Amino acid sequence: MLPTVLNLIPQCCVFCGDIKNGLRICTRCMDALPWNDAFCERCGQPVFSGQPDGVCCAACQQRAPAYAKARSPLHYAFPVDSALKAMKFRRQLMYAPAFASLLLPMLTMAFRECDALVAVPLHRWRYIRRGFNQADELCSELRKHVELPTLRNVVRLRPTPTQSGLSSSMRKKNLQGAFGVRGKLTASYPLIIDDVMTTGATCEHLARALLDAGAKKVGVLTVARSSTTAN
Ligand SMILES: [Zn+2]
Ligand SMILES: [Zn+2]
């Protein structure tokens, strides 16, 4: 009976509460979102809009990341930043299906060859304290629409202090040897899923761990992309 009752509750926009359209994100809020329209072909970092398509940013030209391609539909700016913080720190999980609906078109277009999802793992102590992993919530929502397994044997081997407030070089050091694969990797092109990508250090280290475990290539898909704030 419960699913039937839940179906009767009108869907409202997660940003403005509008219930008229029955959408998780109403058309007005959808238009107002900070879309990441102009980005580096490789790392997904926002670039100035005049740059031709298919060109990599200066950082990627200098040193290509371990992952083959990263994409984020949104900038980490209002109202996306506060919504992601509410999801992560106040367990406002109604944002998970809303953001997953924005990831889905990118997953099916830019990452159609991927054969598994990988939620950026939390160390078990942090998982126990927080009670959930926001990246896992996004994977669960995506899996309602695509037939991809979530790899459960990709783990954080040691607790790492939060990346917030650390410089780019400190972030890299902080994550040395942080991730690993327990047992056999059962995917050749896993797709890392997370809420926000900042310097890319987390995804870089996780991608390297997946490549070391036998992945042929690795993709990264996050809700938002930030170059200034911590993840
Ligand atoms: Zn709205
Ligand atoms: Zn780049």
Distance 105 CA to ligand 2 centre (A): 21
Q: Which ligand is nearest to the CA of 12?
A: 1
Q: Are residues 87 and 124 in the same domain?
A: yes
What is the number of domains present in the chain? 2
Q: Which ligand is nearest to the CA of 63?
A: 2
Q: What is the CA radius of gyration of the chain?
A: 18
Distance 10 CA to ligand 1 centre (A): 14
Confidence of residue 166 (pLDDT cuts 50, 70, 90): low
Distance 148 CA to ligand 1 centre (A): 30
Helix, strand, coil % (nearest 5) of the chain?
35, 15, 50
Q: Does residue 231 belong to any structural domain of this protein?
A: no
Q: Are residues 175 and 148 in the same domain?
A: yes
**Torsion sign (Cα): 16, 21, 26, 27:** negative
CATH code of 77's domain: 3.40.50
Q: Are residues 191 and 137 in the same domain?
A: yes
Distance CA 47, CA 56 (A): 9
Q: Which of 152, 134, 139, 199 is nearest to 173 (CA)?
A: 199
pLDDT tens digits for range 30-43: 999 999 999 999 99
The dihedrals phi and psi of 173, each to the nearest 5 degrees, come to: -65, -40
Q: What is the pLDDT of residue 21?
A: 79
Q: Which ligand is nearest to the CA of 46?
A: 2
Confidence of residue 64 (pLDDT cuts 50, 70, 90): very high
Q: Are residues 88 and 148 in the same domain?
A: yes
Q: Are residues 104 and 5 in the same domain?
A: no
